[in-house]
């Protein structure tokens, strides 16, 4: 079977190819073809390389991006001394196509920027992040210069801001000013970047223990803007649910996909195979809704992690969820979402009948299927995004 999805081509361009390929297939083969097409969208890779001076918190930052605690299975190794001696790749636990590379620390006596970039294979990364936990140093300057020289972009992160704030507060006591402290930290790094001719340098202040605070939203937004469109949605899907702003972006990204999925359903509806349209609509809606729960962190595995951090039960968080499918996704529950099993079957029969009529029949059948799938998925997405917002709000209040 030919590959219908590539990063360089828009999905809609290949829908007619799919329609032609299933014209001669039986029902099981046609359904498999549709499922294979949808799954190809989830194979787009995003590779993030994270480097910085020894002890800067690179590994903890990797874990935070994956939504893992430092001691969790599959997390990057952390320690008081440099624990990364060679590039180590970690796969996002829910999206294996998103790869985080924890790179060896810079700033050691043997560090050489040009050799370092050869060692870590700089060309493999879509996103390159330099992390510093202290003042801007010569090693940061050397590495940034080499990265720029190779035509790559990087993002400079000043980590452990929570620790810096605590230490400064203890030292200055009554004279402590949080805004001045943050401004001083930022300006030190910005001035260092200006020395190597970085115009309008941007420094992101981050705490891996409190990603929802400080500049993480700004960092995510900058990376998202710089990525090509097909990788932006991959980034948003993989990010843990830590702010309402990210939840809104996730919803917007998933919303864009609904028209494409509904149009795919319309193409199938125009193929005169008895039972094909309702079977495929069920498969499409089920797969998409399962993805929504996963993207918004409302699947059981993600909720269990949230329970471990908050001390509350899955039942508690599910009690906050209003989506009719939060109790489980299966063909019966999806049919309920469609309205009723009898109504859906009757609609399918009409679609099959009109699809036998040349030209106009296919248009009618396709239009009915497009509308049905589009309306159902919009409703489901709205409900699940609202549930994610409620769960996030409750979890934040718990941590406070």
Residue 373 CA to residue 364 CA, distance in Å, equals 14
Residue 235 CA to residue 223 CA, distance in Å, equals 9
Burial of 1 (0-12, 13-18, 19+ CB in 10 A): exposed
Q: Are 90 and 74 in contact (CB under 8 A)?
A: yes
225: tokens are 């803007």
Q: Are 48 and 99 in contact (CB under 8 A)?
A: yes
Confidence of residue 70 (pLDDT cuts 50, 70, 90): confident
Per domain, the residue ranges of the chain are 11-42+242-399, 45-237
The pLDDT value recorded for residue 169 is: 86
Please state which of the ranges 29-43, 207-221, 237-251, 287-301 shows the lowest mean pLDDT: 29-43
Residue 186 CA to residue 332 CA, distance in Å, equals 55
Q: Three-class SS of residue 333?
A: helix
- pTM beyond 0.85: the answer is no
Tens digits of residue pLDDT in 15-37: 566 666 666 777 667 667 766 76
Beta strands in 264-306 (DSSP E): none
**pLDDT tops 80 at residue 234:** yes
**pLDDT tops 80 at residue 82:** no
Please state which of the ranges 10-19, 254-263, 296-305 shows the lowest mean pLDDT: 10-19
Where b means 16+ CB within 10 Å and e means fewer, 92-113 reads bbbbeebbbbbbbbbbeeebeb
φ/ψ region of 103 (left if φ > 0, alpha if ψ in -120 to 50, else beta) reads: beta
Instruction: Mention the CATH class of domain 45-237.
Output: alpha beta
Please list the residues that pair with 205 across neighbouring strands. 158
Tens digits of residue pLDDT in 316-351: 988 898 887 777 776 667 666 655 333 443 455 555
371: tokens are 């509308």
């Amino acid at each position: 079977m030919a590959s219908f999805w590539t990063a360089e081509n828009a999905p809609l361009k290949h829908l007619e190819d799919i329609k032609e390929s299933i014209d001669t297939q039986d029902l099981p083969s046609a359904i498999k073809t549709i499922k294979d097409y949808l799954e190809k969208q989830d194979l787009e890779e995003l590779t993030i390389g994270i480097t910085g001076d020894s002890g800067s918190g690179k590994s903890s930052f990797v874990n935070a991006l994956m939504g893992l605690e430092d001691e969790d299975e599959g997390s990057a190794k952390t320690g008081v001394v440099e624990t990364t001696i060679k590039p180590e790749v970690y796969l996002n636990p829910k999206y294996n196509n998103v790869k985080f590379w924890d790179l060896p620390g810079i700033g050691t006596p043997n560090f050489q920027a040009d050799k370092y970039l050869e060692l870590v294979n700089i060309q493999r990364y879509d996103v390159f992040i330099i992390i510093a936990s202290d003042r801007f140093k010569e090693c940061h300057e050397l590495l940034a210069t080499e990265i720029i020289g190779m035509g790559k972009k990087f993002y400079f992160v000043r980590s452990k801001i929570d620790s810096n704030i605590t230490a400064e507060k203890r030292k200055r006591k009554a004279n402590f000013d949080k805004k001045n402290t943050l401004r001083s930290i930022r300006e030190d790094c910005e001035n260092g970047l200006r020395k190597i001719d970085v115009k309008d340098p941007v420094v992101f202040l981050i705490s891996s223990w409190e990603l929802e605070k400080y500049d993480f939203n700004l960092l995510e937004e900058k990376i998202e803007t710089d990525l090509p469109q097909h990788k932006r949605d991959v980034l948003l899907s993989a990010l843990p649910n830590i702010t309402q702003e990210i939840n809104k972006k996730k919803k917007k990204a998933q919303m864009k996909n609904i028209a494409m999925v509904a149009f795919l359903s319309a193409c199938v509806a125009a193929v005169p195979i008895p039972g094909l349209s309702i079977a495929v609509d069920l498969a499409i809606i089920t797969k998409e809704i399962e993805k929504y729960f996963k993207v918004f962190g409302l699947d059981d595995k993600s909720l269990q992690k949230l329970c471990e951090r908050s001390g509350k039960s899955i039942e508690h968080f599910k009690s906050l969820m209003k989506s009719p499918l939060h109790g489980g996704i299966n063909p019966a529950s999806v049919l309920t979402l469609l309205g009723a099993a009898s109504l859906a079957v009757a609609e399918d029969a009409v679609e099959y009948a009109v699809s036998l009529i040349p030209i106009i029949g296919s248009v009618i059948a396709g239009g009915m299927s497009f509308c049905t799938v589009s309306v159902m998925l919009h409703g489901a997405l709205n409900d699940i995004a609202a549930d994610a917002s409620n769960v996030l709000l409750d979890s934040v209040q718990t941590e406070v």
